[in-house]
Amino acid sequence: MNDGVPILTAMTLTPWIGGCLLVGLGARHRSLARGVGLGVSLITLALGFLAWAGFDPGEGGMQWVERHSWIPGLGVEYVVGVDGLGLAMVALTVLLVPMALLVSWTLTERVPLYFGLVLWLEAGLIGTFTALNFFHWFLFWELCLIPAFFLIRLWGGPDRGSAATQFFVYTMAGSVALLLAFLALFLATGTFDFGRLAELGGRGGWAARFEENLDWGGVSGSTLARLVFLGAFLGFAVKVPVMPFHTWLPSAYAEAPTGTTMLLTGAMSKMGVYGILRILIPLFGAEARALLAPLLWLAVAGGVIAAATAFAQRDLKRMFAYSSVNHLAYCLLGIFAAVGAGGEAGRLDPERSMALGGVVVQMFNHGITAAALFAFVAFLEQRSGGRRGIEDFGGLRRRVPVFCGLMGAAVFASLGLPGLSGFVGEFMIFKGSFALEPAAAATAALGLLLTAVFLLTFLHRVFHGPLNPRWAGMADLGGRELLAVVPAMALMLVIGVVPQALLGVLKATVTRWVGDWGP
């Protein structure tokens, strides 16, 4: 129906071209750069609306598909398309970028370059979420790294050098592992297309295929399949991140300029989970099932530890950074729980659907919520001259009530208060997972508890109590800032109250997954 219409390519190219224009501008044209940057991101947002509107919720497969031949000799095609997951992620991206730009409005140094890099990052993100052939999926995956690196390196905090380097090198190392894994797959099948690869090897077919095509002297097909799976998993694990591959994250999030951190946590972190859902599980369902227990408990343990670590943080950005790790761990819980129970067809299907649906919802919601939280931290920083320790504030409620109200709402959404978006995702994940993997789910629930503790503590320390005299003159949220966060807040409310708005487009996709990821 909507195949062949190049709306996805347009959505990828528009910010790319915008970025090229901006990067070429001289550093003096600040207002022009801001205007152009915001304008381009809004155009992309409009395109995103169009894509959403034209999306058929009843169809579980890929829509808006475009297919062109590129390097036939290597089985490489330019193929893009979205299903429910892809659409949700693309929507998340196009929503977050204008927000991030508005939050970064007060930047003064080399503004055109900054805005240009953000737009390039947007292009890379949209490209990753829409690509269906490994070659250019990998291209966009890697291309996100450069703008992110420079955003951290040039506008970041005092320790930005090592933070940026760590970020880049870790991610690249993971990417190399991912690349090697996919090359093995290519050798066995001659294609890089995700759909084809899933068909050929998804239901435990790799062992046989490897034995047939890759004669590696003695290593059995199934061992090889697991090694390849682990290589691919490593690539995604660094991105999500899964403990213990997370050590790059706190510094990167803390040192990056906060507008960038919004994108890092809101969209880039979703690249990892997206990768697992789009690539890892469809291709390696059987291997994942074989290694399920360690993967599951790795995710869960990571989540709980992250929450505990967040509690110990003094720097607000680090706190929310660890909180991100925790929230994404729930996604992994949901995924692995759903995968693990796939041994028998039909059994526990509703629970699996619920868990998987919850995962995507959580991805979307966390993106919005975390971005909003970091936006608020940015506003704090901009008012406090860069300070963002939890002890630095106090009693702000009296001085900036609107700010506190909105940030409080965002905090509660992050907590999972019913009525706000965060609840929906977490509820669905836990409801589904309790039926599938009760022990793991129960342990993960500890994380919920810890999250509640540190978030409430945060609220108390920063907003309640006696007003810290230093901030007696703090200004409340201005027009631009409201413009940045109000749409997000609105979304949090809408999705909390009417989750169908999001779930509608996901249902068909999730159903298809549950069917496909069977034995």
User: Where do contacts with other proteins occur on this chain (CB under 8 A)?
Assistant: 70-74, 107-110, 135-136, 138-143, 145-146, 150, 153-158, 160-161, 165, 168-169, 172-173, 176-177, 179-180, 183-184, 186-187, 214, 216, 257, 386
Q: Is 9:47 a contact under the CB 8 Å cutoff? A: no
The residue (of 70 and 311) whose beta carbon lies closer to other proteins is 70
The residue (of 71 and 490) whose beta carbon lies closer to other proteins is 71
Minimum gap (Å) between residue 191 Cβ and other proteins: 12
Which residues, including other chains, have CB under 8 Å from residue 310's CB and lie 6 or more apart? 318, 319, 320, 321, 322, 323, 326, 450, 451, 454
The residue (of 50 and 146) whose beta carbon lies closer to other proteins is 146
To 5 degrees, how large is the angle CA 193–CA 195–CA 200?
95
For the chain, state the CA radius of gyration.
22
Minimum gap (Å) between residue 182 Cβ and other proteins: 9
The residue (of 72 and 469) whose beta carbon lies closer to other proteins is 72
Minimum gap (Å) between residue 116 Cβ and other proteins: 12
The residue (of 187 and 475) whose beta carbon lies closer to other proteins is 187
Minimum gap (Å) between residue 140 Cβ and other proteins: 8
Minimum gap (Å) between residue 72 Cβ and other proteins: 8
Minimum gap (Å) between residue 146 Cβ and other proteins: 6
| 327/319 Cα distance (integer angstroms) | 12
Q: Measure Cα distances from 253 to 97, 128, 148, 163, 318 in Å.
A: 17, 21, 11, 9, 7
392-405 exposure pattern, b = at least 16 Cβ within 10 A, e = fewer:
bbbbbbebbeebbe
Tell how far CA 38 is from the center of its chain: 22
Minimum gap (Å) between residue 186 Cβ and other proteins: 6
The residue (of 13 and 154) whose beta carbon lies closer to other proteins is 154
Beta strands in 113-185 (DSSP E): none
Three-class DSSP category at 14: helix
| 365/362 Cα distance (integer angstroms) | 5
To 5 degrees, how large is the angle CA 154–CA 157–CA 161?
60
Show the tokens assigned to 126.
């949209």
The residue (of 150 and 471) whose beta carbon lies closer to other proteins is 150
